[in-house]
Amino acid sequence: MRGAVGALPERARAIIAEEEALLSRVQSSLQSARRKTGRGPDTQGLVAQIQVLRDEAATAHVADLPHLLHQATQARALLERKGPTRLPDTSAPYFAHLRVHGTAGPRDYLLGRTSFADVSADVRIVDWRYAPVARVFYCYGEGDEYEEWFGPRLAEGTVEARRLVVIERGQLTRISAGPLLLERAPGGDWRSASEGHATFSAGGTGSAVRPGTLGVGRGTTRREETSAVTALLDSEQFDAVSVGADKPLLVLGSAGSGKTTVALHRLAKVAFDAPADYPESRMKVIVPEEGLARLSRRLLAPLGLAKVSVQTLAAWSLETARAAFGVRKLTLWEDTPPLVSQLKRHPALRRALAARLGVLPHSATTLPRLRKRLTEAFTDRRFVETVVAQARGDLPLTAIDETLEHARLQSATPLAELLEGVDPDALVTVDGKSIESDTPDALAGTLDVEDLPLLLFLKAQSAGLGLKRLAHVVLDEAEDFSLAELFVVGRLLGDTRSCTLAGDEMQQTSTSFAGWPSALAELGIRDAATCRLQVAYRCPRPVVELAQHVLGEQATSTPTRRGREGAPVGFHHFPDEAQGHLFVGEALRELLEREPHASVAVIASSAESARAFHRVVQDMEWARLVLEGDFSFEPGVDVTDVENVKGLEFDYVVLPDVTARAYPQTDEARRRLHVAITRTSYQLWVVSSGVRSHLLPPT
């Protein structure tokens, strides 16, 4: 039943009337098609339909051809197999409406998940994922002239209408046409949504930290005491930076409180005050992920520390293992099963290994012998069961068999050794790959990245590493370091234990964190200066409040002070994921047209989800898929996942999949969602479909 629209502007009333009439026509066409298929194949009707489609294709606009031919192919297949054809769901047959005007006149296309055409009713539903004409919807706005190649032919025309629609239980409930957003109220009446609901708040460009603007504080009252490298620090940050170089420093604070600012400024001040004792060549910054490593390098350059080595944990582990064991090549397996990775990084494993092996004689600390001992541990069911039991629920029981099987495959002799002497050409498949590629045999003889700190730990506690000591080390996002990694770092520190740890226990995204006392103990630190930063500079108050709500009981008892007011959080829910993706894609397009220099991140819950969203915007020149930390920190949209954004910030952030499945009611999901939420310095959008995550506040 049509709702009241009298209070709306004339254009809005016209759009509602047009969209409701279109939906009614589509539903009638689908019902008719369903009745026919329900009675069984209508041979005569199918033949006639194919003939009509062929006739229209002969004179149709080029943009229509793929869909007319697709419908003809469907009809022909139905005729041949005499079985039912798949039709769009009448309760929600499509979610976007595109009208183009080309050489053949106006044409309406509806984007959905299943293609369907009824020429007599002027109904054309195309699969938004594959149909060529869908590119026009993605890449052009209302009123734009388009020019696209569909196969060998060029299609030209003008976009007359471009609208997102939400259809629930067969009823039109929302229409989005550029800045105009119309919604059907629960009572049935149509209304215009609040201004700006479908667009990002203006003015966010440049709010996120960029190279050359590292200081995020409001200035210090002791500016005369600062060196040239301290930039603008608040008094709290300045006190932390000024801790003596020979004193270990632990910097704690919530997201956006300036932990990285303090850590890097302290590194610069140490080098500035005593360059002879703290040369750049003997200072190092270690971070968990490549994205933060890239940002740290760029932030250090304006501070005069471009030569300081910045490495990810994986790169540092590999470099240190090569040097400590005197080997150039280590064959690493890059795709460790998640549960195996979690077990190898868990504090329970470090303790269990220490108890099992103790201090080894020097002769037993060669790489081959330590690898053998580690393999023996990971193929010992009783030992692995003990680790899982001591993890106290952090690791599921399924981790036991997965670890045992993974270790068994890695301990096998590589096929190249077993088949030594066989003609090398016989060991290569027709596609040029080795015969073990893409099979379990490929694991034979490999090491996991997670094994390297364990091997180094076993060597360090027994015979030392024999490596040159570091003058100062910065460990950023230190809550993500394992105990074995911290132990090895501790053995590389000088006698003063000069180092800076920056972290936040609320941002741990793995089960490797054992608490700050344990972390300091592994580093060999008995007394560290501790600074807890109290002001959140990055995130505006609405974002900080949402982050605190998501953490629930995990939130600290002394919440961070809100630094400033800011744009409200945008909450958007859709029945279908595709509707949410198209809605966000439209809003991003409008944002980048208005603010071309903005930095935007679409942070999905997983790499798979990030890829799914990127397919919607991949034709846009401003869209980049970033899944290996390869951020350029240039204006545009980075489509990425939670695992890649620790320590980073952006002007605008969109979370495209905050569903109950992606973020269930678990402590780990709370921390992951908290990390994603707190990456924005200006505005956050939270988008969901299906069942909304219960970690979010009620709407």
Q: What percent of the chain has pLDDT over 70?
A: 83
- Asked which of 81-90, 387-396, 450-459, 498-507 is least confident by mean pLDDT, the reply is 81-90
- As a whole number of angstroms, the distance between CA 699 and CA 695 comes to 12
As a residue count, the chain comes to: 699
Residue 112 domain-assigned (yes or no): yes
pLDDT for 523 equals: 95
- As a whole number of angstroms, the distance between CA 499 and CA 245 comes to 8
501 and 566 share one domain:
no
pLDDT for 49 equals: 54
80 and 144 share one domain:
yes
- Residue indicated by tokens 């240039």: 634
308 and 455 share one domain:
yes
71/596: higher pLDDT? 596
HSE-CB at 277 with a 13 A cutoff on CA atoms is 14
Give the mean pLDDT of 331-350: 94
Query: What is the torsional sign of CA 99, 100, 101, 105?
Result: negative
- Coil vs helix vs strand at 623: strand
Please report, for residues 302, 439, 445, 630, the alpha-carbon distance to residue 214 in angstroms, rounded to integers and kept in the order given: 9, 47, 45, 20
Residue 422 domain-assigned (yes or no): no
DSSP 213-251: ----S---TTGGG--TT--S--HHHHHHHTS-TTS-EEE
Confidence of residue 566 (pLDDT cuts 50, 70, 90): confident
Confidence of residue 553 (pLDDT cuts 50, 70, 90): confident
- Cβ contact 293:629 at 8 Å: yes
Q: How many domains does the chain have?
A: 3
- Asked which of 211-225, 444-458, 586-600 is least confident by mean pLDDT, the reply is 211-225
pLDDT (tens digit, 9 = 90+) per residue, 601-618? 999 999 999 999 999 899
640 and 683 share one domain:
yes
- As a whole number of angstroms, the distance between CA 109 and CA 161 comes to 10
In this predicted structure, the answer to whether residue 280 has a pLDDT above a threshold of 90 is yes
- As a whole number of angstroms, the distance between CA 605 and CA 656 comes to 8
86 and 127 share one domain:
yes
- Asked which of 465-474, 526-535, 641-650 is least confident by mean pLDDT, the reply is 526-535
- Asked which of 187-201, 277-291, 370-384, 455-469 is least confident by mean pLDDT, the reply is 187-201
Residue 201 domain-assigned (yes or no): no
- Provide the β-strand partners of residue 602: 639, 654
- Asked which of 122-131, 271-280, 345-354 is least confident by mean pLDDT, the reply is 122-131
Confidence of residue 214 (pLDDT cuts 50, 70, 90): very low
In this predicted structure, the answer to whether residue 345 has a pLDDT above a threshold of 90 is yes
401 and 355 share one domain:
yes
pLDDT for 222 equals: 37
- Asked which of 207-216, 270-279, 474-483 is least confident by mean pLDDT, the reply is 207-216
- Residue indicated by tokens 């296309």: 109
In this predicted structure, the answer to whether residue 225 has a pLDDT above a threshold of 80 is no
- Residue indicated by tokens 């976009």: 159
Residue finishing a domain among 165, 192, 219: 192
pLDDT for 218 equals: 32
pLDDT for 256 equals: 78
Helix orientation angle between 398-411 and 381-390, rounded to the nearest 10 degrees: 140
Find, among 569, 586, 542, the residue nearest to 658 by Cα: 569
Query: What is the torsional sign of CA 637, 641, 642, 644?
Result: negative
Helices (H) and strands (E) in the chain, counts: 21, 25
Confidence of residue 648 (pLDDT cuts 50, 70, 90): very high
- Asked which of 62-66, 79-83, 605-609, 665-669 is least confident by mean pLDDT, the reply is 79-83
Query: What is the torsional sign of CA 153, 159, 165, 170?
Result: negative
The range of the structural domain enclosing residue 643 comes to: 541-689
- As a whole number of angstroms, the distance between CA 294 and CA 677 comes to 21
pLDDT for 148 equals: 85
- As a whole number of angstroms, the distance between CA 141 and CA 72 comes to 30
In this predicted structure, the answer to whether residue 61 has a pLDDT above a threshold of 70 is no
pLDDT for 401 equals: 97
464 and 593 share one domain:
no
In this predicted structure, the answer to whether residue 654 has a pLDDT above a threshold of 90 is yes
Q: HEC states along 70-137?
A: HHHHHHHHHHHHCCCCCCCCCCCCCCEEEEEEECCEEEEEEEECCCEEEHHHCEEEEECCCCCCHHHH
- As a whole number of angstroms, the distance between CA 542 and CA 424 comes to 63
Q: What pTM did the predictor assign? A: 0.80
pLDDT for 575 equals: 87
- As a whole number of angstroms, the distance between CA 479 and CA 646 comes to 11
- Cβ contact 604:641 at 8 Å: yes
In this predicted structure, the answer to whether residue 370 has a pLDDT above a threshold of 90 is yes
DSSP 631-653: ----SEEEEEEGGG-TT--EEEE
Residue 634 domain-assigned (yes or no): yes
- Cβ contact 395:339 at 8 Å: yes
In this predicted structure, the answer to whether residue 62 has a pLDDT above a threshold of 90 is no
Specify the pairing of strand 636-641 against strand 570-574: unpaired
pLDDT (tens digit, 9 = 90+) per residue, 674-692? 999 999 999 999 999 989 9
Find, among 452, 451, 422, 447, the residue nearest to 435 by Cα: 422
Residue 232 domain-assigned (yes or no): no
Residue 375: CB partners within 8 Å, gap ≥ 6? 407, 410, 411
Confidence of residue 290 (pLDDT cuts 50, 70, 90): very high
- As a whole number of angstroms, the distance between CA 584 and CA 600 comes to 12
689: left (phi over 0), alpha (psi -120 to 50) or beta: beta
124/238: higher pLDDT? 124
pLDDT for 161 equals: 94
Domain CATH code at residue 284: 3.40.50.300
- As a whole number of angstroms, the distance between CA 569 and CA 541 comes to 10
Instruction: Label residue 271 exposed, middle or buried (CB < 10 Å: 0-12, 13-18, 19+).
Output: buried
Residue finishing a domain among 501, 533, 565: 533
Residue 568: CB partners within 8 Å, gap ≥ 6? 201, 542, 683
pLDDT (tens digit, 9 = 90+) per residue, 1-33? 455 555 788 999 999 999 999 999 999 999 988
Mean of per-residue pLDDT scores for the chain: 85
Confidence of residue 215 (pLDDT cuts 50, 70, 90): very low
Residue 289: CB partners within 8 Å, gap ≥ 6? 312, 477, 629, 643, 644, 646, 647
516 and 552 share one domain:
no
- CB burial of 82-117 (b: ≥16 within 10 Å; e: otherwise) equals eeebebbebebbbbbbbbbebeeeebbbbbbbebbb
Residue 593 domain-assigned (yes or no): yes
Confidence of residue 154 (pLDDT cuts 50, 70, 90): confident
pLDDT for 232 equals: 58
pLDDT for 406 equals: 96
Q: What percent of the chain has pLDDT over 90?
A: 52
Residue 423: CB partners within 8 Å, gap ≥ 6? none
Own/partner pairs for 212-217, CB < 8 Å, 24+ apart?
A: 212/302, 214/261, 214/264, 214/265, 214/299, 214/302, 214/303, 215/261, 215/265, 216/256, 216/258, 216/261, 216/537, 216/538, 217/258, 217/261, 217/537
Highest mean pLDDT (candidates 86-100, 165-179, 280-294): 280-294
Highest mean pLDDT (candidates 111-125, 208-222, 435-449): 111-125
Residue finishing a domain among 479, 514, 533: 533
51 and 153 share one domain:
yes
521 and 554 share one domain:
no
- Cβ contact 536:679 at 8 Å: no
- Could you give the dihedral angle defined by the CA atoms of residues 680, 685, 689 and 692, in that order, rounded to the nearest 10 degrees? 70
Residue 132 domain-assigned (yes or no): yes
288 and 359 share one domain:
yes
- Asked which of 28-42, 114-128, 656-670 is least confident by mean pLDDT, the reply is 28-42
Give the mean pLDDT of 648-663: 96
Within 10 angstroms of residue 447's Cβ, the number of other Cβ atoms is 21
pLDDT (tens digit, 9 = 90+) per residue, 511-537? 678 899 999 999 999 889 998 887 777
- As a whole number of angstroms, the distance between CA 620 and CA 27 comes to 33
Question: Can you say how many angstroms the Cα of residue 315 is from the centroid of all Cα atoms in its chain?
Answer: 21
- As a whole number of angstroms, the distance between CA 614 and CA 124 comes to 25
Residue 427 domain-assigned (yes or no): no
Specify the pairing of strand 650-655 against strand 535-536: unpaired
In this predicted structure, the answer to whether residue 283 has a pLDDT above a threshold of 50 is yes
472 and 607 share one domain:
no
